[in-house]
Structure 1
Amino acid sequence: AAVGLTTARTASRPAPERADCAQLVRPLRRRLKLKTLGVSPMDGNSHECTLIYLHGFCGNAKGYLDGACDWSYPWRLGFDYAPGLRVVLPVAPRLRQPWGEVRRAWYTYPSKGVNSIGDPSTLAASRDGIRQLLQQEIKRLGGAAHRCFLGGLSQGCTVALDIYLREGPALGLGGFVGSVGFVPCDHLGFLGADKALCRLASDPVQARRPLWLQCATDDQEDVPWELVRWSL
């Protein structure tokens, strides 16, 4: 597959969201209907493509729409604005981690400081929820799956890539863009990822579509560079 790898210095992790005591954390059902935020094309531009972008561990989709943030995003008017882009920002469920904290996450970890899968059912639910969103957005694009893209940040990057490896060839997705994640594999609990990667790489169409992964070489804590480099 055509893979682009860029490196950057580590950005600070967003402040963990405080657990809401009124919201009980229940075991996830396999069929997970995700809450989403989104931005459709502005200034009269027609809808040409869609990016579904997953936030990181402890994050929230709201941060990508914060008007006080001076970061440049392609869905915000300005120099980097991409006319015709619709962005869909799913919100991860609150999950109780093994050490007791309740955080928004796409899967649970086995322990603190370990990036592999803890409870496989939490990943399965996220896979299913994002698959539903992909199908909805492809329908909105009139079936033009090659104009639907997937991406994410940190934990959201790795989960999005795990799903892209599976659904890219199956649905005919247009590409992937992610930051501060690693390539998922069976060894780390992303069961089926190894075969999915082989299928994508051997697909004559999908293997030529863009797959960009931006990593922080000085990250020794959140998603360590050694883990990223090992996964490539």
Structure 2
Amino acid sequence: MDYPPPHIQDPRSAHTHTVILLHGRGSDGPELAEDFLSGMTSQRISLSDSLPSLRWVFPTSRIRQSTVFKEEMCTWFDASSLDDIQKDSELQIEGLRESVHHIIGILESEISLLDGRSDRVFLGGISQGMATSLWALLCAPGRVTTPLAGFLGSCGWLPFSHQAEHLMSCSGTQLDSNHRKRLTSEFFRNTITDPTTPLTQDTDSLSVLETPVFLSHGGDDPYVSISLGQQAAQVLRAIDMNVEQHEFTGAEADGHWIKEPEGFDQILRFIQQHKANSHTV
């Protein structure tokens, strides 16, 4: 089954940057767009109104059979548990393989629309969307050859993070930053690569893994433990990625969402900061 076309909100002024955001399990692109773009900052202005030159792209996953819910639903990959993310981990591989291919394709397309300027494209997601987009970023070397403007993740986790941490611990401290980046990227790509359709030809350019990262998570999130978000940040920092991390309590959806207005203020500041940086290049 093909993936539906992304939901797109075009910029209200001259197009300078793009944000690609992935929804969580059971949601879809239009629903995330409605909820996210209506989120208010402390100035009582939405992100959409605050950033008129941005093109917003909200992909939708294909329909899959859910092991947990015993029904078909909109989900980037299957998983049997978030209490134990290592349980039946092989269930995640097929969906991650398909979804990562799909998202990297969208990423390449959006970069092309901005004259090849990857530093004008943000990538990220919420919950399972963060998990999938983070995998796409880690698998991108060889297809995206320069850093993105930034990565935005909320209330999510990193599948196979235990294995990645073990890989780093076994490598010891003798490896420099580029070797750790290469080792980690190869681990994630090799986990999902179908030999008949390789994800990428090489990993010569690792600079996409210099993309600045923003992560936020609710300490009272009942669906994805904040410890999983912290573990994701640890993996990224282990390969010397610059991670800005925020924790909060009291967000809507029982804590499994972005805290309003503080969380939207933080996202706005992050985008504005790295949006400004790209103009200087």
Evaluate the alpha carbon distance shift between residue 121 and residue 60 of structure 1 in structure 2; reply closer, same or farther with a 3 A threshold: same
Report the AA paired with residue 182 of structure 1: W
Q: CA deviation at 1:110?
A: 2.9
What residue identity is the alignment partner of 2:29? A
Q: Aligned equivalents of 2:66 and 2:76: distance in 1?
A: 11
* Percent of aligned pairs sharing the same letter: 25
Q: How does 1:162-173 map to 2 (within 5 A)?
A: 162-167=135-140, 170-171=143-144, 172=146, 173=148
Report what 1:62 is aligned to: 30
1:2-151 matched pairs, under 5 angstroms = 33-42=3-12, 45-66=13-34, 70-72=38-40, 73-74=46-47, 76-77=48-49, 81-99=50-68, 100-111=70-81, 113-115=83-85, 117=89, 118-151=91-124
State the partner residue of 2:154.
179
The amino acid that maps onto 1:38 is I
Code of the residue aligned with 1:82 in structure 2: it is L
The separation in 1 between residues aligned to 2:187 and 2:163, in whole angstroms, is 17
Q: Distance in 1 between matches of 2:136 and 2:27?
A: 19
Structure 1's unaligned 5+ residue stretches are 1-27
Unaligned runs of 5+ in 2: 41-45, 165-180, 189-204, 235-281
SS in 2 for 1:71: coil
Q: Determine whether 1:196 maps to 2:169.
A: no
Alpha-carbon distance, 1:165 to partner: 1.8
What amino acid is the match of 2:11? P
CA drift at 1:211: 0.5
C-alpha contact (below 8 Å) 2:127/2:224 kept by paired residues:
yes
Structure 2 residue matching 1:110: 3-state secondary structure: coil
**What does the per-residue CA deviation read over 1:16-67, in whole Å, with 9 as the maximum and x for residues that have no partner?**
xxxxxxxxxxxx6xxx54421001111xx11111111000111122223438
Instruction: Tell me, yes or no, if the aligned pair for 1:39 and 1:88 is still in contact at 8 Å.
Output: yes
- Structure 1 stretch 58-67 or stretch 149-158: which is displaced more? 58-67
Query: Do 2:141 and 2:185's aligned partners in 1 also have CA atoms closer than 8 Å?
Result: no
Q: Structure 1 residues 198, 87: closer, same or farther in 2, change over 3 A?
A: same
Partner in structure 2 of residue 158 of structure 1:
131
Q: Provide closer, same or farther for how the CA distance between residues 112 and 214 of structure 1 changes in structure 2, counting only shifts above 3 A.
A: closer
- Shift, 1:98, TM fit: 1.7
Q: Secondary structure at the match of 1:226?
A: helix
> Which amino acid in the other structure matches residue 228 of structure 1?
G
1:215 correspondence with 2:232: no
Aligned-partner SS, 2:21: strand
Looking at structure 2, the residues matched to 125 and 198 of structure 1 have their Cα atoms a distance apart, in angstroms, of 17
- Per-residue deviation, 1:149: 1.4
Structure 2 letter corresponding to 1:56: G
Query: 1:94–1:103: 8 Å Cα contact kept in structure 2?
Result: yes
User: Using the alignment, how far apart are the partners of 1:101 and 1:149 within structure 2?
Assistant: 32
Gap change, CA 1:197 and 1:154, over 3 Å in 2: farther
- The one-letter code sitting in structure 1 at the alignment partner of 2:156 is G
Residues matched between the structures, number:
190
| SS, match of residue 124 in structure 2 | strand
**Structure 1's 207 and 127: CA in aligned 2 closer, same or farther, altered over 3 A?**
closer
